[in-house]
Every structure is written in structure tokens, then in C-alpha cells.
Amino acid sequence: MNITDRFEFDVVIMGAGLAGMSAAAKMAEDHPQLKVAVLSKVHPVRSHSGAAQGGINAAVAADDKWADHYYDTLKGGWFLGDQDAVRALTEEAPEAIYELDRWGVMFDRLPDGAFAQRPFGGQRRNRTCYVQDLTGHALLSTMYEIMVKKGVAVFDEWFVFALVADAGRFFGFLAFDLKTGRIGWFGAKAGLIATGGTGRIFGQSSNALINTGDGMALALRAGAPLKDIEFFQFHPTGLLNGILITEGARGEGGYLINKDGERFMARYAPKFMELAPRDLVARSIHTEIMEGRGFEDGCVRLDLRHLGAEKIKERLPQIREIAMYFAGVDPIAAPIPVRPTVHYTMGGVHVDVHCATPIRGLYAAGEAACVSVHGANRLGGNSLLETVVFGRRAAQTIPAALDGAPAAPAAAIAREMAAFAALFGDGGKENVAELRQDLERTMVAGFGLKREAASMTTGLQEMDALAARWDGVRVREKNLIFNLELVRALELRHMLDVGRACACASLPRQESRGSHFRYDFPKMDNAHFLKHSLVSMTPGGELALGELPVTIVDVPPLDEIKY
């Protein structure tokens, strides 16, 4: 098995969702002399950013302030967010929105021309700009047009299977073209990982099937640690099959009710009600269901009927369609059955506020990265914002740091190619689909919405055993063209890496903070755990847990979070 194509670029971006494309477009605009390429395992507009429904936050209203957005984000994240990073996110948000507007995103407007903004959870005012309930799709399509217009080289349906780094320096990616089976070496002075989240390790999730943590795992293997990877967000309102019903539905005024017809959030968050932060609403729904106040189908109900047909059709057309197709319910006439669904990866590749990893020349942005702006729980509408703000930041940082990289180490590339070829060798009895199901079952049992020592200890042991079983995976189909057996095998390896890292960081965090809720340690413990976790991988594949202080600038962390 040989490399068939050799490309050299200044910058290669792995991932063409909103983070990757924002970085590419901005870099091409500000530095037209640079050769920039993006690689994506799906066509860019099929990237998962397109699924985002509800909107993107920014203090753009005349009477709103970035400082309020800053505080709401810190509190929503249980003060685990780094304050310099959260400041960058919220202070640079308005400019990011104005630029998207200039580039052609058709944001909904008020009659006076100002941005329409809906309320989202954990925020003290309406701050979420939107395009109906299709915001991600609108942003992604516009960004793709801009990126292509600015001359970025796009390699769509190329699957990256290796990141080559040596002696602490990045050199390039190896990828194969799903359409032709050609294998390419993409050498570059700098690389950006923008591969999105990893929700699929839990099986049923609001995430697309492609959200398998490829970039996080390759970075981990190359020597860049994963930060805060124990924090996975459950969105309160998924359908039974995991498909998302946006927080925008509650933002527009939807109620959550239990089988007794009670708006139960009054007992958990009397002030914010359905618009409390996601971790709190998800846990409240879980409690209602576990204590017998759910419906027979294991769900509670999201009631939109009182909004009226006109508002539902105008503001939530996609939600209505999803509810009708996938739950058989027209929300104009009946409430939607909902329950929490795995949604977002707060942790990711450890980067600083300039998107730099500890590996020279390697950067990360978007959901694949952990800057960290979301802390222990992301507020809705802040993730699209992160992709754009930190995509732009990467576009500023990377060109300024480019240097004359030494020649790529042939031995390191050969090693990666040999490992790839070995996947097609003889022997090996493991079945990828079965192994993936075992992974999903283990993650749900050990590291779900509520956690405790016993189940996490079992989960940790099982994850190590599952990772060992991956060595028995072989790909029987030798032709690389649309070889989905190969794709699923590689994705599984990445999911196992991220799942193991989550398991490794979860057990020692003996407190409850945001999405990491423990029955056995139900309180937040700033004295011992106001710190980031850092999971690294040794060359032998062992995981090691380290830590990093949280950056506190001007807001003293609270000892208790109430809404």
C-alpha cells in the first residue's frame, strides 16, 4: 500500500465544519499568498455544524453587554472555563456576527432591522441570533461559498487516518480519497484540527454518525493531551431516537410537563424554569422519569401548543417537521415526547487562547478543541460562536507563527503507512459493529447523565479491555474506494481512544460540576477540583492523567450554582 499523491501546503485544516471553514476563509482573506487546504470526510456542507438549529449568541443588542455574556457563560460552566478564553469568546462575538452578516448570512430581523434574538438557557436576556431553526445550515452554506470564492483548496470526502508529528513538531496528515481510493500525503508548515465532537461514543445521541472524535484521537496519539474530556453534555430534549429538539423551542416559550401535567421545572429552577442551563434541565427530566412521573414511553413532554400554529410554522418549521416525521406528533396539536440525549463534547484537544496545542505547528478549534470556554457545561448558542470566534483566532495566529519547517521525517510517515497497511493483514477476529456496540453500552452504563464510583470503575476496566480488542480488528475489503468497512474500523479506534480518556478523567473527579454529576459526591468542590484534567497518551498507548489550573482573571468562582 503506497502513497499515490504528495501535496505541500502552508496550512492544512482537518475538518470543514464551521470551525475549519471559518479559519480557512479568514486566512485566505487576510493572507492570500498562503496555500491553504481543507480536508473533510464528508462534503463540507454535510458537516455536522449544519445540524445546529437554535442559534448563535452575541451581545449585539443596544442594551446588552459582552460582560454580561461573559458572566453568564462562566456561571453556566460552573466556573471551570478559563476567564481569558471566555472573555475572548464573548467580547469578540459581536464582530463575528457582523462579519457573518456581511458575508451574507440571512439572520432573522426585527421590524426596525436589528437582529432578532431569542432567549436561551442560563442567560439573563435574549442573546441568541438565529435563522429560523436552521441557523447552522445557513451559516455553513454561506461559509462554504466564501471559502471557495477565496481560493481555499477543498479535498472533500478525503478521510484523514494519520497525523504525522515527530520530536514535538507537526509535519502533515495522511488521508485517502473515498471516491478514488488514492492515498495522499498532505505536508504542511501548520495543521489545524477542526473535526467536531464525539457524541457517538454513547451510541444514541443528537450527533451525526460522523462525530467519532477522529481529530481528538489523532492529536492524543501524536502527543497533545485532551483537556476536561470527562465533560459530555446531555441535551434535555431529544426524541426517543436521539434526534434533537432545539432549545429554541423552549426559547420560544415551550413548556416541559410530566405525566401529571405539572410544569416540573418550577421545583428545580423556579426563576429560570425551562430555560435553566442544560445540565440542570436534563437532570431534572431524568429525575422525573426515574421517580415515576414520566410517561409510559420513558419520556416527558415538550408542549408547544400554546404558541399557536402561526408562530410554530414561522419560527420552528424544522422542529415541527422532525416531530412529525420521527415522533408522529404535530406539535401544533400535541406535545412532543422528549428525554435527554448526548449532545456535546465540552472537552477536547488542549489548546491555549490562540488555538495552539503543545505540539509545534499543530492547532485546534471548534468542538474538537478545549480552549476552554464552556467549562463544565456549555450554554446553548455558545458553540457556533466558539467555532467562528476561534476559527478566526486560528486564522490570525497560524500565519504569524509559520516558519520554514524541516523536511518531513520519512521514517515517521513510513511507520504510519505500515500501521495502516497492517489493518488489511490476515488474522484478527474482532467484529467492528459488535465492538462499537460494546463501547456504546459501556459508556452509557459508566459515564452517563449521573455517575458513581462503582459503575465508573467497571467502565474504566471495560474500556481498557475494549481498546485491547481493537488490535484484533482487520479490514477484509482491500479496495479503498468507498470502503466503509475501513472507515468504521478507523472511527472505532478513535472513539475508543476518546472513550478511554473520558473514563480515565471521570473517576478521580470526586465532585459534581456541570455535566459531571455524581451520586456519591453530589456537591461542587472548588477547594480540590477547580482545575482542568489533562489526559495524555504514552507511546505505548497507556493513558496518564495530569491537571492544569483554571485561569481566573476577575470573577471569583461561586461555591454553589443556583438558578
Ligand X SMILES: Cc1cc2nc3c(=O)[nH]c(=O)nc-3n(C[C@H](O)[C@H](O)[C@H](O)COP(=O)(O)OP(=O)(O)OC[C@H]3O[C@@H](n4cnc5c(N)ncnc54)[C@H](O)[C@@H]3O)c2cc1C
- Cβ-proximal residue to ligand X, closest one: 17
Overall size of the chain counted in residues: 563
Nearer to ligand X, 197 or 459 (CB): 197
Among 384, 388, 475, 505, binds ligand X (CB under 6 A): 384
Residues 343-362 that bind ligand X (CB under 6 A): 343-344
| Number of residues forming the site for ligand X (CB under 6 A) | 47
Is there binding between residue 53 and ligand X (CB under 6 A)? yes
* Closest distance of CB 61 from ligand X, Å: 18
Bridge partner list, 518: 451
What is the distance between the alpha carbons of residues 74 and 558, in angstroms, rounded to a whole number?
10
Is there binding between residue 14 and ligand X (CB under 6 A)? yes
Largest CA distance in the chain: 68
End-to-end CA distance of the chain: 58
The cell numbers describing 425, all together, are: 493483514
User: Which letter, b or e, does each residue of 48-65 get, where b requires 16 or more Cβ atoms within 10 Å of its Cβ?
Assistant: bbbbbbbbbbbbbbeebe
DSSP string, 354-404: T-B-SSBTEEE-GGGEE-SSSTTSPPTTHHHHHHHHHHHHHHHHHHHH---
Is there binding between residue 251 and ligand X (CB under 6 A)? no
Bridge partner list, 532: 548
Nearer to ligand X, 24 or 460 (CB): 24
- Tally of CB atoms within 10 A around 229: 31
Is there binding between residue 191 and ligand X (CB under 6 A)? no
Q: What is the amino acid identity at position 90?
A: T
Is there binding between residue 122 and ligand X (CB under 6 A)? no
Among 11, 12, 25, 56, binds ligand X (CB under 6 A): 56
Residues 157-176 that bind ligand X (CB under 6 A): 159-160
Distances (CA, A) of 329 to 26, 325, 382: 42, 8, 29
User: Any catalytic annotation for residue 250?
Assistant: yes
Among 45, 54, 123, 353, binds ligand X (CB under 6 A): 54
What is the distance between the alpha carbons of residues 374 and 73, in angstroms, rounded to a whole number?
7
Among 13, 52, 502, 503, binds ligand X (CB under 6 A): 52
SS3 category, 536: strand
Nearer to ligand X, 459 or 499 (CB): 499
Is there binding between residue 90 and ligand X (CB under 6 A)? no
Among 18, 220, 495, 530, binds ligand X (CB under 6 A): 18
DSSP string, 117-135: EE--TT-SS--EE-STT-H
Is there binding between residue 195 and ligand X (CB under 6 A)? yes
Tell me which H or E stretch contains 169.
strand 169-177
Is there binding between residue 239 and ligand X (CB under 6 A)? no
User: Any catalytic annotation for residue 31?
Assistant: no
Nearer to ligand X, 17 or 459 (CB): 17
Nearer to ligand X, 191 or 381 (CB): 381
Is there binding between residue 42 and ligand X (CB under 6 A)? yes
Is there binding between residue 383 and ligand X (CB under 6 A)? yes
Among 83, 132, 206, 237, binds ligand X (CB under 6 A): 206
What is the distance between the alpha carbons of residues 100 and 82, in angstroms, rounded to a whole number?
26
Nearer to ligand X, 186 or 268 (CB): 186
Site string for ligand X, 211-230 (x = CB under 6 A): ---xx---------------
Edge-to-edge strands, sheet with 543-549:
369-370, 348-350, 226-227, 531-537, 543-549
Q: Where does residue 108 rank: exposed (0-12), middle (13-18), buried (19+ CB within 10 A)?
A: middle
Catalytic-labelled residue, pool 69, 235, 286, 315: 235
Quick one: which segment of 46-54, 396-404, 440-448, 452-460 binds ligand X (CB under 6 A)? 46-54
Nearer to ligand X, 132 or 258 (CB): 132
Nearer to ligand X, 381 or 514 (CB): 381
Catalytic-labelled residue, pool 69, 250, 451, 513: 250
Is there binding between residue 196 and ligand X (CB under 6 A)? yes
- Tally of CB atoms within 10 A around 208: 18
Is there binding between residue 395 and ligand X (CB under 6 A)? no
Check: CB of residue 323 under 8 Å from CB of residue 329: yes
* Closest distance of CB 561 from ligand X, Å: 21
Binding site for ligand X (CB under 6 A): 14-20, 39-42, 44, 47-49, 51-56, 135-136, 159-160, 194-197, 206-207, 210, 214-215, 244, 246, 343-344, 366-368, 380-384, 387
Residues forming the active site: 235, 250
